[in-house]
Copies of this chain bind each other. A is one copy, B any other.
């Protein structure tokens, strides 16, 4: 059950000894505390990405992090605090490739490299991708605001760039928003639907080779699909 949406400025339990360290207010904790927190976040990412927020239990996370439940709750008062921190940390990483898309470059290479980076993210950070997918799939209760705010703004900006390219005849005309959706969908598919991809490809192709294959395929598909008529 829906655990009480808290706005929260996040008065976390463990604080540094009254600002003695030079880290300022932003990180009121010792290095050991930070290491423990990272350990918890790492374990939580495993569990949340596999079971979703509701399906994950503090017990599982604690066990996976090698500590007792009360001990874990000493570092994060509530289950939701862990989840929120993971989501927040994830969003920047997730958006980085799109932010990186530059209006100065040539359209086709720029799009090709965007696809590459997104695909590499699926390969290297599949749990983060699934965490986010789980959240969005279930209505994104904790991030709708961000989707309608930052994300929309960023996509609007990049869509303008793409439209500009199209108007210059450097790209076949098409809806830039749906183009971005298509790139998201195809690249994240390899992280989010990993089980299905592996099952269909079978044992023989179960290795990491599928990402190289996917890169080849997707670049071909999008570059030929977007190349302006000669």
Contact = CB atoms under 8 A, between A and B. Distances in A.
A151 B216 contact: no
Given A151-B200, A224-B225, A178 B130 contact: no
A182 B1 CA distance: 27
Given A130-B137, A137-B130, A181-B186, A220 B151 contact: no
Contacts of A50: 138-139
A199 interface: yes
Contact of A147 (B152, B155, B200, B225): B200
A221 interface: yes
Contacts of A144: 195, 199
Contacts of A133: 133, 137, 192-193
A36 interface: no
Interface residues of A, number: 58
Interface stretch (A18-26, A71-79, A169-177): A169-177
Interface centre among A134, A174, A178, A221 (most CB of B within 10 A): A178
A51 interface: yes
B217 A221 contact: no
Interface centre among A134, A137, A192, A214 (most CB of B within 10 A): A137
Contact of A54 (B52, B177, B196, B214): B52
A194 to B, nearest CB: 9
Contacts of A192: 133, 136-137
Contacts of A51: 54, 138
Nearest to A190: B181
A175 B224 contact: no
Contact of A189 (B138, B174, B181): B181
A148 interface: yes
A140 interface: yes
Interface of A: 1, 50-55, 57, 130, 133-134, 136-140, 144, 147-148, 151-152, 155, 172, 174-175, 177-182, 184-186, 188-190, 192-193, 195-197, 199-202, 213-214, 216-218, 220-222, 224-227
22 contacts: A54-B54, A134-B137, A134-B138, A136-B192, A140-B195, A140-B199, A144-B195, A147-B195, A151-B196, A172-B224, A175-B213, A178-B214, A178-B217, A180-B200, A181-B214, A182-B186, A182-B217, A182-B218, A184-B193, A185-B185, A185-B186, A221-B226
